[in-house]
């Protein structure tokens, strides 16, 4: 039987890619010497790669002379990757139906490089005066989505270095199977988020409803919470949970 050869690549791209992998692994900006060391090369060798990555938008340098971090193109690629993730495609028609049923805006949040990130939004009939566009990163302690991820992906949440919600909050979220936020980040705006799990039991996304506090039911045993949990449970079963 003839031996199958691996496809031929471009070595310089693979070498330079080690710098990007180091930035992703550490999740924070790094000085040139530290970044080069993590990528297994000298600073003199790493610098030309970084200059090219900056021109492409894959890397940016703080102040032109500070540490290097992931650039806008890298973040855009990451967001597109999140949007193409199968559970997101599966959940997209669900949030559109929920927005009609609940009368509120419903979004999909997934775990991104900077925390819980909105990747899909189905607008409800009631206007919400808060940013809920694609790419919005939600705080861990102040939002329903953030509290949900801080509860079921605690290690990832801790790695961000952002203050997590109080343990009492995460205990309540786990017991209710749902996270809520009433006048949390913005006065007059409330939210509820239900977890969707994959086959391994890992939280992969949140179904998050958001609306004006005056007309938004945050009761864990209320009809809105029940409908969110039912939709999330159905998606979890479809993902093999």
* Structural domains present in the chain: 11-70 (1.10.10.10), 83-238 (3.30.450.40)
Is the Cβ–Cβ distance between 235 and 193 less than 8 Å? no
Cβ neighbourhood burial of 122 (10 Å; 0-12, 13-18, 19+): buried
Cβ neighbourhood burial of 155 (10 Å; 0-12, 13-18, 19+): exposed
Alpha carbon separation from 21 to 11, 76, 150 (Å, rounded): 15, 16, 25
What digits encode the pLDDT tens for the residues 177-228? 999 999 877 888 999 999 999 988 999 999 999 999 999 999 999 999 999 9
DSSP 8-state code for residue 141: T
Is the Cβ–Cβ distance between 101 and 209 less than 8 Å? no
pLDDT band at 85 (very low <50, low <70, confident <90, very high): low
pTM for the model stands at: 0.68
The confidence score (pLDDT) of residue 28 equals 85
CA dist 67 and 50 (Å) reads 11
Handedness of CA 135, 140, 238, 235 (dihedral sign): negative
User: Mean pLDDT, to the nearest integer, of 167-177?
Assistant: 94
The confidence score (pLDDT) of residue 238 equals 87
pLDDT band at 50 (very low <50, low <70, confident <90, very high): very high
Neighbours of 194 (CB within 10 A): 27
pLDDT band at 2 (very low <50, low <70, confident <90, very high): very low
What digits encode the pLDDT tens for the residues 111-141? 988 899 999 999 887 666 565 667 888 999 9
For strands 203-212 and 115-122, give the pairing.
Answer: unpaired
The confidence score (pLDDT) of residue 1 equals 43
Is the Cβ–Cβ distance between 180 and 222 less than 8 Å? no
What digits encode the pLDDT tens for the residues 93-106? 999 999 999 999 99
């Amino acid at each position: 039987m003839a031996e199958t050869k691996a496809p031929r690549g471009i070595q310089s791209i693979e070498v330079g890619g080690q710098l990007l992998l180091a930035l992703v692994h550490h999740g924070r900006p790094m000085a040139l010497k530290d970044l080069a060391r993590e990528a297994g090369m000298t600073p003199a060798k790493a610098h030309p790669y970084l200059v090219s990555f900056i021109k492409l938008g894959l890397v940016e340098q703080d102040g032109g002379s500070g540490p290097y971090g992931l650039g806008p193109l890298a973040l855009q690629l990451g967001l597109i990757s999140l949007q193409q993730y199968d559970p997101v495609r599966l959940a997209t028609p669900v949030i559109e139906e929920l927005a009609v049923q609940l009368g509120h805006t419903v979004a999909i949040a997934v775990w991104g490089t900077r925390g819980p990130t909105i990747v899909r939004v189905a607008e409800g009939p009631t206007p919400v005066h808060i940013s809920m566009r694609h790419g919005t990163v939600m705080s861990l302690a102040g939002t329903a989505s953030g509290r949900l991820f801080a509860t079921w992906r605690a290690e990832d949440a801790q790695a961000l270095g952002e203050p997590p919600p109080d343990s009492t909050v995460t205990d309540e979220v786990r017991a209710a199977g749902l996270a809520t936020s009433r006048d949390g980040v913005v006065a007059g705006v409330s939210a509820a988020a239900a977890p969707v799990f994959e086959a391994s039991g890992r939280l992969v996304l949140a179904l998050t409803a958001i609306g004006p506090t005056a007309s938004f039911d945050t009761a864990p045993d209320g009809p809105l919470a029940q409908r969110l949990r039912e939709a999330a449970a159905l998606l979890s079963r479809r993902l093999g949970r």
